[in-house]
Structure 1
Amino acid sequence: MLRRVLQLGLGRGLPTRGLSTRREGSTLDWDGKVSEIKKKFQSILPGGAWNPLYDTSHLPPEHSDVVIVGGGVLGLSVAYWLKKLEKRRGAIRVLVVERDHTYLQASTALSIGGIRQQFSLPENIQLSLFSANFLRNINEYLAVVDAPPLDLQFNPLGYLLLASEKGAATMESNVKVQRQEGAKVCLMSPEQLQNKFPWINTEGVALASYGFISSSNRMKTSSGKEVTLKRIYEVHVKMDHSLEYQPVECAIVINAAGAWSGHVAELAGIGKGPPGTLQGTRLPVEPRKRYVYVWHCPQGPGLEAPLVTDMSGTYFRREGLGNNYLGGLSPTEEEEPDPGNLEVDYDFFQDKMWPSLAQRVPAFETLKVRSAWAGYYDYNTFDQNGVVGPHPLVANMYFATGFSGHGLQQAPGVGRAVAEMVLEGHFQTIDLSPFLFSRFYLGEKVQENVII
């Protein structure tokens, strides 16, 4: 019996406390007779070495209620809210799978870190308001008992969008929607803009939208042919030190794989049917490489500079207290860089960004680039908005992806929305029905006017 228990223990991860087994009618307690059991094991193991024959501690569990593919901010947000809200349905087991455990290439860590309320879609505005409230009160959600309070270094200096004469009417219309949703946004004339931010060159600016980060509790509540439904029964996971993929049986899979979520969807057979059918409708999320540059400028805007987005598409914000700034620019479709690597093109800054930066902020004429990095957008090629909720045919795959650069700022609200859909079957806090997968098949784009 001792040998049999040993084999079972090694096969599932040998426990270190509370192990008991029976031998010739007597009970051997692990805590009380460690040395006796150790001697027995040493006599059995080859060479008498005190090492497990098969170390399984690095393997994933054999079963999980929910498997989340992607451990970035969206995947972790879904995991957090599932556990936070699970008391409604009883305890559930959640497994998060992330291939880059260093997060050196993770979009979450490589983003510019801006949060804005200036969208045109009510759903996007509500997500940002939810996120701002979550971040402002982070210790109500993530504080650990007897540990120091969390310091996210959340720096709410606002978000400034500039519009030309051509875009002024659209900006006014967007701000009206933003205010209706509870966002604190003001419109500024070129004169007001110059008075508040004297370091800005207002040439070509007809109107500006200045958003203040504020907490808000105002949310909205949601109120053919035969097809074959599919289900995912297991996810195969490969750990760093394992030679084989290990199956994990699960009830639900959350696709939060960011730039690679389109590939994960294909693994589940999504988009593999006849063209023009729901079965043949793919998840239109692809990787797009974006550069972030860091520069030093002692004569720059200073501590009160908000995150500024110019009409040219160039954006920047202050970084820390040492006269450093960081920013970027989304390239045109013709200029899209190869997403096969994360190498930085410094000529892109010199040729595309610097001229517009120096034109808008004359002090940036003397800036010095200090460093740069590249990261990935999970770019939704259909309408650049997120994909949230279940797939209509693969019944147990849910999406939290495709935010095209908005993922970090919308993650708290998206995570809660997905958790509500999984646990309750519908959105509750924010109605994100416009972001369902079915819009791709129906050809119904979600029109967001403020894409950066």
Structure 2
Amino acid sequence: MSRNVLHLLNLYPVDLQFNQSGYLFLANEEVAHIMEENYSTQRYAGAKVSLLSPTQLKQKFPWVNTDGVVLASYGLENEGWFDPWTLLNAFRRKAISMGVIQCYGEVTDFKCTTNVLRTSSGDTVDLKRIGSVKVQMPNSLEYQPVECAIVVNAAGAFSGKLTEMLGIGSGPKDSIAGIPLPVEPRKRYVYVVHCPDGPGLDTPFLIDYSGVYFRREGLGGNYIAGVSPEEAEEPDTSNLEVDHQFFEERVWPGLAHRVPAFEKLKVTSAWAGFYDYNTFDQNGIIGIHPLINNMYLATGFSGHGLQHSPAVGRAVAELILDGNFKTIDLSNFSFRRILTQEPMLEKNIV
């Protein structure tokens, strides 16, 4: 990210509290070939990563139990983690400093115009254009219509709900109008644990092949940990309550197996949040919707939205202002791949 992106009001760059540390992916025999393929792709793209044998892994990180590990991938530079809330607020403050007017409210409806087109096969297609958005302001019974020429649907986990309001996905299943925006909320838990005898300052962001992950949080023996649930055990999304039994049954055993010191840890806090989960291929959907000619999509990032946000923000701005991508061609992430049933699947991601 460039220095200018976070330069606020011509004063000082924002401190994102960036901790530079590599990502350490572990692979068993079943998925080692995928790691090798990913390694080749990453090296071709210029990423500085290395492959480690179990012996090399143990030498570099003696606190790791290498049982079941046949290969590891470790990032050597330009990796780490930062404070997401600071970044989000930096973007917000920068936008306001440039004249953006920010308001909060819940979208409850759209006012649209519709043009009916007939295809060569004789079918009809409704093309919509949004004229205004109905917004309910906080602590108010009033609805404020907001007139607009362009709408960017970056509503995250609830972006699919917005397109449903416009009738997307409600048409015949064999038609374009019957294809919904495949984005829905998925609840994920993050646990903060304390372990005084745990790994030290050289701790990477470790992702086990079981899906369990952890990283250091600060300097006082604290760590952040979690795992994505299996499809059949997806938690209820009607609330943001934390399931502590999930930690006991699904997270802690994996942590303690991979790092024996974690047999003695204590959960000090936890929270839950929503992924804007793309059920089609778990990748972002970027660009204009084919049936709503002034709605641009920036959603479906399935947990990676903050990492992608600087590039996606610029890309959508280029689409709006220039009519096409200028900096990075993200056309492969358009809604078209959903229409043609050509998923962009990735492997060995967290």
- 1:145 and 1:280, CA in 2 relative to 1: closer, same or farther beyond 3 A? closer
Per-residue deviation, residues 294-315 of structure 1 (Å, max 9, x unmatched):
0000111111111100011000
- 1:318 and 1:245, CA in 2 relative to 1: closer, same or farther beyond 3 A? same
Q: 1:266: which partner in 2? A: 164
Which amino acid in 2 is paired with 1:143? H
Structure 2 residue corresponding to 1:163, chosen from 6, 27, 47: 27
Per-residue deviation, residues 98-156 of structure 1 (Å, max 9, x unmatched):
xxxxxxxxxxxxxxxxxxxxxxxxxxxxxxxxxxxx1xx4x422223564441110112
Q: Does residue 258 of structure 2 align to residue 360 of structure 1? A: yes
Per-residue deviation, residues 77-105 of structure 1 (Å, max 9, x unmatched):
xxxxxxxxxxxxxxxxxxxxxxxxxxxxx
In structure 1, the gaps of 5 or more residues are: 1-133, 216-223
Q: Distance in 2 between matches of 1:376 and 1:155?
A: 24
Looking at both structures, which has the greater relative contact order when contacts are Cα pairs under 8 Å and sequence separation is at least 6?
Answer: 1
Q: In the TM superposition, what is the alpha-carbon distance from 1:365 to its structure 2 partner? A: 0.6
Pairwise mapping of residues 136-175 of structure 1 onto structure 2 (< 5 A)?
Answer: 137=2, 139-145=3-9, 147-175=11-39
1:232 and 1:268 in contact (8 A); partners too = no
Q: Distance in 1 between matches of 2:284 and 2:58?
A: 35
Q: Distance in 2 between matches of 1:214 and 1:451?
A: 17
Which amino acid in 1 is paired with 2:30? K
- 1:403 and 1:360, CA in 2 relative to 1: closer, same or farther beyond 3 A? same
Which amino acid in 1 is paired with 2:51? L
1:231 and 1:394 in contact (8 A); partners too = yes
Q: 2:125: which partner in 1? A: 227
Structure 2 residue corresponding to 1:288, chosen from 156, 169, 186: 186
1:157 and 1:213 in contact (8 A); partners too = yes
Q: Distance in 1 between matches of 2:258 and 2:18?
A: 26
Q: Distance in 2 between matches of 1:213 and 1:430?
A: 22
Structure 1 residue corresponding to 2:70, chosen from 186, 202, 206: 206
Per-residue deviation, residues 357-399 of structure 1 (Å, max 9, x unmatched):
0110011011111111110011111111111111011111111
Q: Distance in 2 between matches of 1:356 and 1:209?
A: 19
Which amino acid in 1 is paired with 2:35? M
Q: In the TM superposition, what is the alpha-carbon distance from 1:292 to its structure 2 partner? A: 0.3
Q: 1:313: which partner in 2? A: 211
Q: Does residue 327 of structure 2 align to residue 429 of structure 1? A: yes
Structure 1 residue corresponding to 2:303, chosen from 405, 420, 424: 405
Q: Does residue 343 of structure 2 align to residue 445 of structure 1? A: yes
Q: 1:348: which partner in 2? A: 246
Q: Distance in 2 between matches of 1:276 and 1:308?
A: 43
1:275 and 1:281 in contact (8 A); partners too = yes
Pairwise mapping of residues 90-129 of structure 1 onto structure 2 (< 5 A)?
Answer: none
SS in 2 for 1:439: helix
SS in 2 for 1:171: helix
1:291 and 1:372 in contact (8 A); partners too = yes
Q: Distance in 2 between matches of 1:256 and 1:267?
A: 15
Structure 2 residue corresponding to 1:254, chosen from 152, 160, 167: 152
2:160 and 2:181 in contact (8 A); partners too = yes
What is the TM-score with the length of structure 1 in the denominator? 0.66
Q: Does residue 270 of structure 2 align to residue 372 of structure 1? A: yes
Q: Distance in 2 between matches of 1:293 and 1:391?
A: 37
* Greater per-residue strand proportion: 2
Q: 2:95: which partner in 1? A: none
Which amino acid in 2 is paired with 1:395? N
- 1:424 and 1:212, CA in 2 relative to 1: closer, same or farther beyond 3 A? farther
- 1:145 and 1:391, CA in 2 relative to 1: closer, same or farther beyond 3 A? closer
SS in 1 for 2:287: strand
Structure of larger gyration radius: 1
2:225 and 2:251 in contact (8 A); partners too = no
Q: 1:67: which partner in 2? A: none
SS in 1 for 2:292: coil
SS in 1 for 2:20: coil
Q: Distance in 2 between matches of 1:288 and 1:297?
A: 29
SS in 2 for 1:376: strand
- 1:200 and 1:293, CA in 2 relative to 1: closer, same or farther beyond 3 A? same
Per-residue deviation, residues 259-280 of structure 1 (Å, max 9, x unmatched):
1011011112221221121111
Which amino acid in 1 is paired with 2:178? G
2:50 and 2:74 in contact (8 A); partners too = yes
Q: Distance in 2 between matches of 1:212 and 1:141?
A: 25
Q: In the TM superposition, what is the alpha-carbon distance from 1:286 to its structure 2 partner? A: 0.6
SS in 1 for 2:310: helix
Q: In the TM superposition, what is the alpha-carbon distance from 1:436 to its structure 2 partner? A: 0.8
Which amino acid in 2 is paired with 1:408? L
Structure 2 residue corresponding to 1:239, chosen from 118, 122, 137: 137
Pairwise mapping of residues 302-341 of structure 1 onto structure 2 (< 5 A)?
Answer: 302-341=200-239
SS in 1 for 2:229: coil
Aligned pair count reads 308
2:34 and 2:348 in contact (8 A); partners too = no
Q: Distance in 1 between matches of 2:214 and 2:268?
A: 15
2:153 and 2:297 in contact (8 A); partners too = yes
Q: Distance in 2 between matches of 1:409 and 1:320?
A: 20
Q: 2:283: which partner in 1? A: 385
Q: In the TM superposition, what is the alpha-carbon distance from 1:428 to its structure 2 partner? A: 2.1
- 1:194 and 1:347, CA in 2 relative to 1: closer, same or farther beyond 3 A? same
Which amino acid in 1 is paired with 2:232? E
Q: Distance in 1 between matches of 2:332 and 2:137?
A: 36
2:4 and 2:13 in contact (8 A); partners too = no
